[in-house]
């Protein structure tokens, strides 16, 4: 199955997985009037089930788990297999690597379209799709596809910064060296954050970005630090000859969807806390934040540091991807629709005002 065939009416969407990403996807996709929200999958009969039921989501479980959920007093609406059967599209939000078995056991046999998250493989024997989506770069290519991976938060963030620069400065750019400073766990994770800085001998992010920007002369290193708040990327861009001025670089991002330009944030935690204080859903900004005060230009080199909202970043990206895959909607119209659901332009303005 390489393309999607849909009946008439609202698109029926099921979310397979209810972790950090699945919960956020459920909040926003269930609020979209163009979607008939089928519900969510739970694999463990824990408190998150209660939360999902309180949010009025139908909860589907594995056949052999029905009894366990019942014993704990959780009402379920059927099996995961039944939910997939009822859906037009599944947004898979399984923990890293779980999407492959779901594709083989559920989506392919039932001929259902699916979006996978960035922890799944693009290449090799466990590959789940032949493209990684980045709404700033290859939105149109997803139109009508049956299986697509939504790039991870880091990969989505890099695309959002690189593509405007490529469009403005093109051949003048010689190479990108990016250091990803990654959080060790999300705020909601119960796992311990170890006091250690850890390196990654083969970060997947470099190949993932090259999947949608194949000509980029890009080198990525990735480190995990003991933080739960956000990622910080330092991107070093080398130009042929003298680099553009700081003002020209900043101007490239002024009107970019999902990119805020801040000037006094001091660190990732204050941004996350501000998002919570301002009442942003799930405490997410859903964007990257360029830190203007540490943007440096010297000779042929520009250094941009930006923080990347790890949990929130990919949620509007998934929403945009649905609009390409299912509705084949022009990108500008899709951005308007996603903005009306996530209030991204308003949030960008608020953050820029708070950290001016
Ligand atoms: N966290 C982030 O910041 C982030 C950002 C971008 C992309 N991603 C990607 O998004 C995906 C999900 O990450 P996450 O952080 O949401 O993980 P997570 O919080 O660990 O949640 C994973 C969920 O998978 C569910 N699950 C277990 N077996 C499953 C199966 N066979 N099929 C479907 N779901 C299953 C678990 O359900 P139970 O709880 O019921 O056991 C759990 O809710 C990964 O590919 C990750 O790389 C994560």
Q: Tell me: pLDDT of 74 over 90.
A: yes
What is the tens place of the pLDDT at every residue in 114-152? 999 999 999 999 999 999 999 999 999 999 999 999 999
Residue 150 pairs with which residues in a beta bridge? 133
Q: Tell me: pLDDT of 6 over 80.
A: no
Distance from Cα 142 to the centre of ligand 1, integer Å:
23
Q: Tell me: pLDDT of 7 over 70.
A: no
Tokens for 242?
């003298």
Residue to substitute in 16, 93, 129 for testing ligand 1 pocket (most ligand atoms within 8 angstroms of CB): 93
- Whether residue 82 contacts residue 59, with contact meaning beta carbons closer than 8 Å, is answered with no
Residue to substitute in 23, 26, 42, 94 for testing ligand 1 pocket (most ligand atoms within 8 angstroms of CB): 94
pLDDT tier, 233 (very low <50, low <70, confident <90, very high otherwise):
very high
Residue to substitute in 17, 42, 182 for testing ligand 1 pocket (most ligand atoms within 8 angstroms of CB): 17
Q: What is the pLDDT of residue 1?
A: 57
Distance from Cα 312 to the centre of ligand 1, integer Å:
14
What is the tens place of the pLDDT at every residue in 21-39? 999 999 999 999 999 999 9
Residues sharing a CB contact under 8 Å with residue 266, sequence separation 6 or more, in sequence order: none
Distance from Cα 238 to the centre of ligand 1, integer Å:
37
User: What is the DSSP secondary-structure string of 81-148?
Assistant: HHHHHH-SEEEE--STTTHHHHIIIIITTTT-EEEE-TTSBSSSTTB--S-EE-TTTSGGGGTTBSEE
pLDDT tier, 4 (very low <50, low <70, confident <90, very high otherwise):
low
**CA of 48, closest atom in ligand 1:** 39
Q: What is the pLDDT of residue 123?
A: 95
Q: What is the pLDDT of residue 70?
A: 97
Looking at the chain, the whole-number percentage of residues with pLDDT higher than 70 is 98
* CA-nearest residue, atom 29 of ligand 1: 94
Q: What is the pTM of this model?
A: 0.97
């Amino acid at each position: 199955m390489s393309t999607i065939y849909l009946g008439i009416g609202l698109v029926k969407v099921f979310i397979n997985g209810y972790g950090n990403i699945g919960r956020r996807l459920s909040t926003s996709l269930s609020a979209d009037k163009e979607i008939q929200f089928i519900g969510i999958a739970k694999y463990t009969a824990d408190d998150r089930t209660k939360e999902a039921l309180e949010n009025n989501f139908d909860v589907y479980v594995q056949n052999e788990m029905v009894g366990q959920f019942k014993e704990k007093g959780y009402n379920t609406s059927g099996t995961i297999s039944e939910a997939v059967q009822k859906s037009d599209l599944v947004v898979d939000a399984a923990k890293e690597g779980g999407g492959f078995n779901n594709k083989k056991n559920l989506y392919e046999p039932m001929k259902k379209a699916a979006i996978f998250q960035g922890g799944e493989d693009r290449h090799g024997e466990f590959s789940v799709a032949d493209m990684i989506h980045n709404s700033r770069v290859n939105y149109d290519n997803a139109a009508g596809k049956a299986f697509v991976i939504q790039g991870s938060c880091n990969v989505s963030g890099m695309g959002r910064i690189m593509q405007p620069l490529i469009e403005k400065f093109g051949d003048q750019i010689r190479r990108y060296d990016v250091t990803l400073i990654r959080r060790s766990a999300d705020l909601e994770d119960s796992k311990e954050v170890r006091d250690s800085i850890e390196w990654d001998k083969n970060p997947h992010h470099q190949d993932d970005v090259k999947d949608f920007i194949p000509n980029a002369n890009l080198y990525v290193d990735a480190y995990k630090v003991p933080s739960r708040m956000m990622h910080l990327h330092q991107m070093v861009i080398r130009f042929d000859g003298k680099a553009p001025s700081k003002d020209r670089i900043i101007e490239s991002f002024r009107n970019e969807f999902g990119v805020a330009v801040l000037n006094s944030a001091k660190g990732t935690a204050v941004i996350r806390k501000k998002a919570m204080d301002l009442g942003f859903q799930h405490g997410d900004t859903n964007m990257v934040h360029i830190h203007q005060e540490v943007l440096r230009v010297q000779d042929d080199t520009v250094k941009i540091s930006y923080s990347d909202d790890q949990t929130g970043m990919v949620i509007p990206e998934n929403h945009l991807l649905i609009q390409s895959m299912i509705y084949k909607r022009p990108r500008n119209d899709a951005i308007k629709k996603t903005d009306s659901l996530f209030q991204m332009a308003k949030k960008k303005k608020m953050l820029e005002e708070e950290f001016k």
